[in-house]
Amino acid sequence: MIISDLGQELAQLGLGLLRALPFMIGYVLLILLFALVWRLVKRALTPRRDFTSLKTVTFGDESAVVSNTVASVISVVVVFLLWGAFTGSALLPRFLHAPGPFIGQGSFTYTVEAADGRRDDARVDVTVYDKDGVVDPAAVAPGEGIAKDDSIALQAYRSKLLLWDANDEVTRKDGARIVAIDGKPVGPGGEVETAIGRVAVTDKGTLNVVPAQGMQMEEIWLPAPEAVWHRLITIWRDGYQNVTLAEHLSYSLFRVVVGFLLGAIVGIPLGYAMGLSDWFRGWFDPIVEFMRPVPPLALIPLVIIWAGIGEQGKIILLFLAALWIMAIAARSGVSGVKISKVHAAYSLGASKVQILRHVIIPNSLPEIFTGARVAMGVCWGTVVAAELVAAEKGIGKMIVAAAKFQSTDIVIMGIILIGVIGFGIDLLMRWAERILVPWKGKG
Amino acid sequence: MSGLAIENISMRFDLPGGASVQALKDVSLTLAPGELLSVLGPSGCGKTTLLNIVAGFLAPTEGRIVLNGHEVKGPDAERGMVFQQGALFEWMNVRENVGFGPSMKGMPAAEKRQIVDHLLEVVGLKDFKEKAVYELSGGMQQRVALARCLANDPDVILMDEPLGALDALTREKMQSLVLKLWKETGKTIILITHSVEEALLLGERLLVMAPRPGRIHKEYRLPFAELGVGKDLRQVKKHPDFARTREEILGMIWDMEEEIMGQPGAGE
Ligand SMILES: Nc1ncnc2c1ncn2[C@@H]1O[C@H](COP(=O)(O)OP(=O)(O)OP(=O)(O)O)[C@@H](O)[C@H]1O
Ligand SMILES: [Mg+2]
């Protein structure tokens, strides 16, 4: 039962992947294309030979592979280009846009066969307008024959049913039915590609007009980059739902910083105790080892039950998220001290307290910093998730609220902000690490 | 009575599962103040264990260590230690590393500075005072380790393969430095090495140990350390006795190694 269900899911997934495959291949080709272009440009520009260019073995030589800045820049630019191209961004010249939806006028013909076998063709004039400009259906002369010409107007990306027999001499009630569209034979349930898009015959015999959608994304799925940017500016100025963006962000950051600091203040001494005393180690090992694999997100429901959706609950959650990481980092920092360093300190006359202060603690700092970086990352992820579930303010809260109103531009803006801030936190931690523990990895 | 006495030391390590290793058996030795002893022996014969017992990091299962009339109970600043590598504190610069012992004792800053400056001058690192230790070469790091040990003015200096990780040329310079420091400071030194040449050059007395159980196999008294002080060590190596003793000891160690290889997995 479960197996067959899962099998179906897997098949669905496979199908989706298969559909995405051409796009992925296209993207890879794009990467290779730029690589080739850059190689040619570089060869043309710089005859310079550095050490790496003298190496014949670069594949598998880790030191020969450093991140290529040009590739990084192009990569980011391409992301925005693709985004703009597939949303019809006004920032890009038209020729870079992916094919857009059909907008304008066109027509198709349908062929009716009456119950007694008579046949006649009729023309349908189609007007497709975009969401900003509603247009009425064009007036048409009905024309000759048993089937009369029709007209229809509809919005891009939408479909519309056409009751073709409303003005015809023979109707579906009389047994008349559509046998061809644009001359191509079709029956109920079938469809035909026409100049304006797909035209399908429904099971009941009416026509369903689906104008061509092109390859661009509709705004409610993915807004153009400039729309997101404008949204950022207006929200920055006016706030969203009476809360300013700065307030949303500072609530989230406040929770992370306080939760992390509490976690570090408790976790580091706990880790030291575990690293220095077998009793503490034995006492806390089961607890830490059990809590470590529990993702903090899994604690959200419990924390909400216990502490509600206020600040306390969230800070407890982040405290727990940081606590185990910091405790484990401190513990391994202590147990990672080389015994020869401790021995050296002892035979230089240091007391136990002095060894703790001058050897064990400094020796554990690099590990603790690594732990702190991980903990900050986890806390940032956890706070956003917790706010998605329940909060009054916070960047996560802002994007779920926006999602309820289909404000995709705000959702995307929020996601980008979350990413940028997460990245900024990591940069900050790395910078602090470089300044405060320059001996990291040099032991 | 002054000097270092190693009295009937035995060391047995109990292994998980009930087995045990007899790392040392009934090792006895006395060193007068200012003597320089080098220790040789095949791998696993208990050299490090012996040194750790003298340093006070390990308590022997039997026997005791007596230094200047009192029994050794644990590590202490009177017995300094120089390790092979990686025992410097990389969170301190060269000056702080060398001044570590005096700082722990709470020595006044001015006095400490004098000692540190003097020792860095002696080991030839006076221009590297403020450098981070991980920026130094391996040989320079060992000089810092020597200076750090001397800053405490210990009675005995214990060295476990202090030059083992250095290249041949640096090693030779360091050997001269060790001899110079020995002569100038008059310390009692025990030096473990894997190099027979180094043991000959740096040993007033030389101990060859045998494995399973670890014990003293043979002891030599050698003239080369005295000859080498302030001289080119390559000249000393040309001494006729040098090559002869070297061959004799090499043969001895070879035989022991063969014996070990011949009975794999044997031993207590
Ligand atoms: N902590 C320990 N637990 C169990 N066995 C040990 C321990 N320390 C040393 N031994 C055993 O004692 C013996 C002597 O070890 P030791 O390290 O003193 O040898 P060594 O002569 O210094 O060797 P090497 O020249 O390779 O440094 C070895 O058989 C080793 O396996
Ligand atoms: Mg050893």
Instruction: Give the model's pLDDT for residue B178.
Output: 85
ipTM: 0.88
Q: Indicate whether B248 belongs to any domain.
A: no
Domain match, A275 and A333 both = yes
Residue A192 CA, chain-centre distance (Å), reads 35
Nearest CA owner, ligand 1 atom 30: B44
pTM to 2 decimal places: 0.80
Q: How far apart are CA A291 and CA A317, in angstroms?
A: 13
**pLDDT per residue as tens digits for the range B176-197:** 888 888 888 888 999 998 888 8
Domain match, A275 and A385 both = yes
**Which residue, of A157, A181, A211, is where some domain finishes?**
A211
Min Cα distance B53 → chain A (Å) is 12
Among B50, B57, B43, smallest CA distance to B6 is for B50
- Whether B93 and chain A come into contact, CB under 8 Å, resolves to no
Indicate which of A348, A357, A363 best probes the interface with B, i.e. most B CBs within 10 Å of its own CB.
Answer: A348
**Which residue, of A80, A96, A112, is where some domain finishes?**
A96
Q: Indicate whether A219 belongs to any domain.
A: no
Domain match, A206 and A246 both = no
Bridging pattern class, strands B205-210 and B36-40 = parallel
**pLDDT per residue as tens digits for the range B17-75:** 888 888 888 888 888 888 889 998 888 888 899 999 998 888 888 888 888 888 888 88
Residue B268 has pLDDT above 50, yes or no: no
The total of other beta-carbon atoms located within 10 Å of residue A220's CB is: 12
- Whether B69 and chain A come into contact, CB under 8 Å, resolves to no
Domain match, A86 and A174 both = no
Contact B152 A340 (CB under 8 A): no
Instruction: Give the model's pLDDT for residue A365.
Output: 93
**pLDDT per residue as tens digits for the range B117-135:** 998 988 888 888 888 988 8
Residue B267 has pLDDT above 50, yes or no: no
**pLDDT per residue as tens digits for the range A89-114:** 888 888 888 888 888 888 888 888 88
Domain match, A346 and A400 both = yes
Q: How far apart are CA B128 and CA B149, in angstroms?
A: 17
Domain residues for B95? Answer: 4-43+56-194+219-239
Q: Indicate whether A19 belongs to any domain.
A: yes
Instruction: Give the model's pLDDT for residue B247.
Output: 85
- Whether A442 and chain B come into contact, CB under 8 Å, resolves to yes
Residue A415 has pLDDT above 90, yes or no: yes
**pLDDT per residue as tens digits for the range A263-279:** 999 999 999 999 999 99
pLDDT-derived band at B266 (thresholds 50, 70, 90) equals: very low
Domain match, A23 and A74 both = yes
- Whether A362 and chain B come into contact, CB under 8 Å, resolves to yes
In this prediction, residues A127-139 reach a mean pLDDT of 81
Task: Name the least confident of A139-143, A357-361, B139-143.
Answer: A139-143
Residue B49 alpha carbon to ligand 1 centre in Å: 6
Residue B194 alpha carbon to ligand 1 centre in Å: 14
Phi/psi at A134 (nearest 5 deg)? -70, 135
Question: Using a CB-CB distance cutoff of 8 angstroms, which residues of chain A are in contact with residue B81?
Answer: 343-344, 347
Q: How many domains does chain A fold into? A: 3
Residue A49 has pLDDT above 70, yes or no: no
Contact A348 B148 (CB under 8 A): yes
* A218: CB partners within 8 A, 6+ apart: A157
Ligand nearest to the CA of B25: 1
Domain residues for A90? Answer: 2-96
- Which CATH number do you get for residue B83? 3.40.50.300
Contact B75 A347 (CB under 8 A): yes
Contact A349 B79 (CB under 8 A): no
Q: How far apart are CA A280 and CA A20, in angstroms?
A: 53
Residue A53 alpha carbon to ligand 2 centre in Å: 44
Instruction: Give the model's pLDDT for residue A57.
Output: 67
Domain match, A125 and A186 both = yes
- Put residue A148 in one of left, alpha, beta given phi > 0 → left and psi -120 to 50 → alpha: beta
**pLDDT per residue as tens digits for the range A211-243:** 888 888 888 888 999 999 999 999 999 888 888
Q: How many domains does chain B fold into? A: 1
Average pLDDT, whole number, for chain A? 88
Q: How far apart are CA B131 and CA B212, in angstroms?
A: 45
Contact A348 B57 (CB under 8 A): no
Element (H, E) at A104: strand A104-113
Contact A348 B77 (CB under 8 A): yes
Tokens of A261: 């600091």
Q: Indicate whether A442 belongs to any domain.
A: no
User: Percentage of chain A surpassing pLDDT 90?
Assistant: 43
Convert A347-368 to b/e letters by CB count within 10 Å (16 or more is b). bbbbeeebbeebbbbbbbbbbb
Contact B87 A343 (CB under 8 A): yes
Residue B80 alpha carbon to ligand 2 centre in Å: 17
In this prediction, residues B245-257 reach a mean pLDDT of 83
Tokens of A33: 């294309």
Nearest CA owner, ligand 1 atom 5: B13
Q: pLDDT: is B265 or B207 the higher one?
A: B207
Bridging pattern class, strands B70-71 and B188-192 = unpaired
Domain match, A344 and A426 both = yes
User: E strands of A389-443, at which residues?
Assistant: none
Residue B59 alpha carbon to ligand 1 centre in Å: 14
pLDDT-derived band at A48 (thresholds 50, 70, 90) equals: low
**pLDDT per residue as tens digits for the range A182-193:** 888 888 888 888
Instruction: Give the model's pLDDT for residue A264.
Output: 95
Closest residue to A349, CB basis, from B83, B88, B104: B104
Q: Indicate whether B51 belongs to any domain.
A: no
Min Cα distance A360 → chain B (Å) is 10
pLDDT-derived band at A51 (thresholds 50, 70, 90) equals: low
Average pLDDT, whole number, for chain B? 85
Residue of A nearest to B145 (CA): A344
**Which residue, of A78, A96, A114, is where some domain finishes?**
A96
Residue A162 has pLDDT above 60, yes or no: yes
In this prediction, residues A292-308 reach a mean pLDDT of 88
